[in-house]
Amino acid sequence: MLRTEASTPLAQSRQTRVSSIDVVRGLAIVLMALDHVRDLWHTTALVQDPLSFDTTTPALFLTRWVTHFCAPTFVFLAGTSAYLSLMRDGDYGRAQRFLLSRGVWHMVLEITVVGFGIWLALFLTNNKNPSL
């Protein structure tokens, strides 16, 4: 019997993946990046609230306002993906181990890579200005 591309396990896993989840995640990432760029480039970001109608422009207000949906979207889609993966495989133990190991890896990377990047930047900044 000839095995077609659609009958291979890899192709089947690609077919069961819900691409709209990835599209919405990508949109949320773009919006978060937009907010981070806005925070760095908005010269008065430390003293003015971009949501205050007294000190903002419509574009600045909208770019800040729309980013309030990013974190809830990410949390919702993470739960949705975990649920769909569990329903596809049906193995609760495997799902628990995967989610636990993923969480531990996120914590390790936060403490090491992200923490190192932040503290190195603060250390270099403080060494340039001895009065800090």
Kindly report, residue by residue over 16-32, the tens digit of the pLDDT: 778 888 899 889 888 88
Kindly report, residue by residue over 51-94, the tens digit of the pLDDT: 778 888 887 788 788 888 888 998 899 889 888 888 888 888 99
Residues contacting 24, CB < 8 A, separation 6+:
73, 77
* CA distance to 45, 84, 119, per residue, from 115 (Å): 24, 32, 6
Kindly report, residue by residue over 88-112, the tens digit of the pLDDT: 888 889 989 999 999 999 999 988 8
Report the alpha-carbon distance of residue 92 to residue 98 in Å, rounded. 10
